[in-house]
Amino acid sequence: MTFNELLELDKETRRKQTRSSQRRAGSSSEMPRPTPAKTEAIVARHHDAATRRRHGIMTPSMVRRLRKAVKEVGKEAATHRFTQAEKESLRDIVYTYGRQGYRTSENEIARIGVNWLVEDYRENGKRSVLHRILKALRD
């Protein structure tokens, strides 16, 4: 059997399962129970989502503060060393947003990142992304 034939067989099986479960809709006791491996994946997925919700949330007030900070013209010169990959990533972001009609620069993106880290640190202290990464670098 070829790979494409297996894919078609799998699709057909899924359609049959969907039809039969739709006929039985309304009775949760008849629904197939997830296997232990699936249950672990579901639990892990929900656990990850819960973690992300608590850390690094962009509230509307944080967006306003970041916008205000970045809109202000930066007059203090600074030199930062980036890796080749970091510079390429910044260029890719600038290019992508430019194609979508947003005019931006590597400097603006770096300032957004710095201001976000500072805001996150002020709000979350030892639970902030900055603290956790710095701690991981020292361990």
Q: Which structure tokens are listed for 40?
A: 């672990």
pLDDT in tens, 15-74: 766 666 666 555 544 555 555 555 555 555 554 444 444 455 678 888 888 888 888 888
pLDDT in tens, 106-139: 999 999 999 999 999 999 999 999 999 999 999 8
- pLDDT at site 5: 58
Give the type of residue at 52: R
Cβ neighbours of 119 (radius 10 Å): 19
DSSP characters over 34-89: PPHHHHHHHHHHHHHHHHHHHSS---HHHHHHHHHHHHSPP-S-------HHHHHH
C-alpha closest to that of 56 among 101, 121, 107, 11: 121
